[in-house]
Amino acid sequence: MGKYQRLALLAFVLFAFTLALFKASGWRVQYGFRVPVPPAEQAVAQAKVAEQPLRKKNRHRSRRAEAPIALTGRFETHFASSKLHTQTHAASLVELKDGRVRALWFSGSREGASDVTINSAVFDPVRNVWGAEQVVAGRDSTQRALHRYIAKVGNPVATRAADGTLWLFYVTVSLGGWAGSSISMMTSNDDGASWSAPRRLVSSPFINISTLVKGAPFLYADGTMGLPVYHEFVSKFAEILRLDKTGKVIDKQRLAAGGQGTLQPVVLVQSEKEALVFTRYSGNDAERRVVSIATGDGGRHWSKPAKSSLKNPDAALTALVLPDGKLLAVLNDQEWGRDSLSLQMSADGGGTWHELHRLEEMSGLRNKVMDEQTCVRLVESLARTSDGKLEKAAGPQLTGHVDSARARVNADGGCAFEFSYPYMIQTHNGDIHVVYTWNRTFIKHLVFDRAWLQHRLKEHQS
Amino acid sequence: MMSFTDWTGLSGLALVWVLLALRLPVAAHLTDLKRALFVAAAYCVVMLPLFGLSLAGFLRGMVGDLSITSILLLCAALFTRLRLLSCGAADAVWDARNRYSLLLFLSVIALLLHPFALGIGPLDPYRSGFAGIAFILALALLALWAMRRNLMLLPLALSLAALAWSLGWYESTNLWDYLIDAPLSIYALAATGKLLLLNARRGKRA
């Protein structure tokens, strides 16, 4: 190669790397969290609630009928999804600007099928009803927009970005099972009534596969977003993707090494500098416990994963920080199976936990032999208590729900219940909403207020 | 509407299909001009969505966007077939020493990057690709060192990757994705392994 050609190449090298350094110099990652705004004290709203008579409709079976609502608080349950004879899973929630709550989940003939779509519905807390179910995205629409082959879609998680827009992350798979997942994202300027075309987040050098989302995103102090994600291919570990205000990936932090079985991280921001992460445990240890990881410097460094006192049957959990610093979690409090669901609280930053309420309990039936009719009656009873609309329903409305659920519960001739993948948020009026997979057939929604929580806490303490 | 990064990603993968098409018997005896036209036609065909998805899009789902280094190698292969890569300068860049040094570099970073990306430990070198200034400086120094050693292909590949990353050529914001991809890693490891094996055999014979 001649002298001038060498000089030309040298000039090109210097130009390219100067440009790269210039770009990198404007790319600062700052640490420190944005602490969620605590729910507004709504004295007027609380007073109104206190004046209301106890409503029998939608009343949870655990509430004492004779107690006034002001003492026991509000605890109601509904089905958020309405489609019959489909499989539903992996719901998430986001509060809308007008105080309503939007849920998103995936739904189709079976998990991983090509007909699975990301569906959504909105809960109106004033009318106390869920709206109609709508399709937000599917395999075909995602494939067209991303200009690449897509085999299936999964886990959706929605959140509000620093600029007020809604961001929706969901899993797409082109090759293989869930371990071959990538994350796509869409945005909405009208609180989810319409969504932008999806675009792909690139988060791995290995064909960009095996990054999945499940836990609620959080904000850093500079307005960038932390997206808790996890990796499943070859080994399992939790990570945090950091996105700038336009949704571009600007950093990725590994929370645990492979082999430690940390999946589906849930990040709990406690202060500007402190946060806790809880993860599903998917390892081989006999003692199956939720794994916890902590930071005290705004997310710059994270502690080594440690087992918490919470049991975990290799299943997702959800948790949040209450304004008084207590932690609230919903999880399957068992080492095997997903046939019970528990609401737990910790007053010491996750060191110890106690159960406030058993939300679902069917673990006693696990190894029992049961004929089909008895199982169907159980399903019917459970469906009635799960949604006020079904409490006194008869005929096709109830039959449709029971038949849908029976197809799953009674699938292998047994009577196996599943309550899994909980997701919890606290809205600005202080209410806490939980959604979870109900027998893979419906998305069940719970809403309770602070009065109910206080009541449960007092009962526990007494 | 196709975005710029979709077009760049798909075009890179279209190159793979075009090179495969050039292996068809029908392309074997074409004149230079007809071969160039054949390449253009093949590019259009593989970029055209059929039933909502183009051939390039199908491949994109399977392997993702190709790195700039892959594109450089694919372009070299294409230009060779079009008899455009035969001038003195091109020969100097493309000789065996240059090719082997690039393959060795790719093999080393493939071994460094992928096992950690799959969770072999708590470290993740991929993180440095998100605008890590030390990483960019290290690559720049490597490019300059390679030039001092009279290597041209490696600095060219590194600089093209850095330039493409700076310009946001692909949807990825990580510089590693511009340097290497999984199919290229496999190719580099296989080619380097084969080369080492041949050298070892020659050594034994000698």
CB contact under 8 A, A16 and B160: yes
Contacts of B11 (CB under 8 A, 6+ apart): B43, B47, B56
Does A100 fall in a domain?
Answer: yes
Q: Give the pLDDT mean for B62-72.
A: 97
Residue A27 has pLDDT above 90, yes or no: no
- Give me the DSSP letters along A344-394: EEESSTTSS-EEEEEEEE-GGGTT----HHHHHHHHHHHHHHH-HHHHT--
């050693």: which residue's tokens?
A: B149
Q: Choose between B202 and A386: higher pLDDT.
A: A386
For residue B182, what are its two tokens?
């999984």
- The two most distant CA atoms of chain A are separated, in Å, by 95
Does A46 fall in a domain?
Answer: no
Residue A62 has pLDDT above 60, yes or no: no
Considering chain A, what percentage of its residues have pLDDT values greater than 90?
82
CB–CB of A337/A366 below 8 Å? yes
Residue A385 has pLDDT above 60, yes or no: yes
**Eight-class DSSP state of A256:** S
| Alpha-carbon gap: B72 to the closest alpha carbon of chain A (Å) | 15
Number of domains present in the structure of chain A: 1
Strands A117-124 and A101-108: antiparallel
Q: How many CA atoms lie within 13 A of A70 on its CB side?
A: 10
Q: For the whole model, what pTM was predicted? A: 0.93
- CATH number of the domain bearing residue A208: 2.120.10.10
Q: What is the pLDDT of residues B118-173, one digit of tens each?
A: 998 888 999 999 989 999 999 999 999 999 999 999 999 999 999 999 999 999 99
Give me the pLDDT at residue A56, please.
Answer: 41
Residue A79 has pLDDT above 90, yes or no: yes
Does A9 fall in a domain?
Answer: no
Degrees, nearest 5: CA angle A75-A437-A339: 90
Which residue, among B7, B111, B172, would best test binding to A if mutated, counting the most A CBs under 10 Å from its CB? B172
Cα B187 to Cα B165: distance, rounded to the nearest angstrom: 23
Does A101 fall in a domain?
Answer: yes
Closest residue of B to A232, CA-based? B118
By Cβ distance, the residue of B3, B58, B126 closest to A149 is B58
Cα B161 to Cα B182: distance, rounded to the nearest angstrom: 16
By Cβ distance, the residue of B9, B121, B182 closest to A257 is B121
Q: Is residue A98 left, alpha or beta, with left meaning phi > 0 and alpha meaning psi from -120 to 50?
A: alpha
């004290």: which residue's tokens?
A: A41
Does A308 fall in a domain?
Answer: yes
Q: pLDDT category, A402, cuts 50, 70, 90?
A: very high
Domain that holds residue A265: 78-461
Of all helices (H) and strands (E), which one includes residue A292?
A: strand A289-295
Does A276 fall in a domain?
Answer: yes
Give me the pLDDT at residue A93, please.
Answer: 98
Give me the pLDDT at residue A45, please.
Answer: 47
For residue A450, what are its two tokens?
């602070």
By Cβ distance, the residue of A20, A149, A236 closest to B165 is A20
- The residue length of chain B stands at 206
Give me the pLDDT at residue A68, please.
Answer: 59
CB contact under 8 A, B131 and A237: no
Does A366 fall in a domain?
Answer: yes
CB–CB of B116/A252 below 8 Å? no
Give me the pLDDT at residue A70, please.
Answer: 63
Which residue, among B48, B51, B166, would best test binding to A if mutated, counting the most A CBs under 10 Å from its CB? B166
By Cβ distance, the residue of A23, A140, A147 closest to B166 is A23
CB–CB of A72/A455 below 8 Å? yes
- Tell me if chain B has a CB within 8 Å of the CB of A246: no
Contacts of A181 (CB under 8 A, 6+ apart): A154, A171, A172, A173, A209, A210, A211, A212, A232
Cα A15 to Cα B57: distance, rounded to the nearest angstrom: 33
Cα A218 to Cα A227: distance, rounded to the nearest angstrom: 7
Does A324 fall in a domain?
Answer: yes
- Centre a 10 Å sphere on the Cβ of residue B91 and count the other Cβ atoms it contains: 12
Q: What is the pLDDT of residues A237-270, one digit of tens each?
A: 999 999 999 999 999 999 998 888 999 999 999 9
Considering chain A, what percentage of its residues have pLDDT values greater than 70?
93
Give me the pLDDT at residue A362, please.
Answer: 93
CB–CB of A85/A121 below 8 Å? no
Contacts of B4 (CB under 8 A, 6+ apart): none
Torsion of CA A61, A67, A72, A76, to 10 degrees: 30
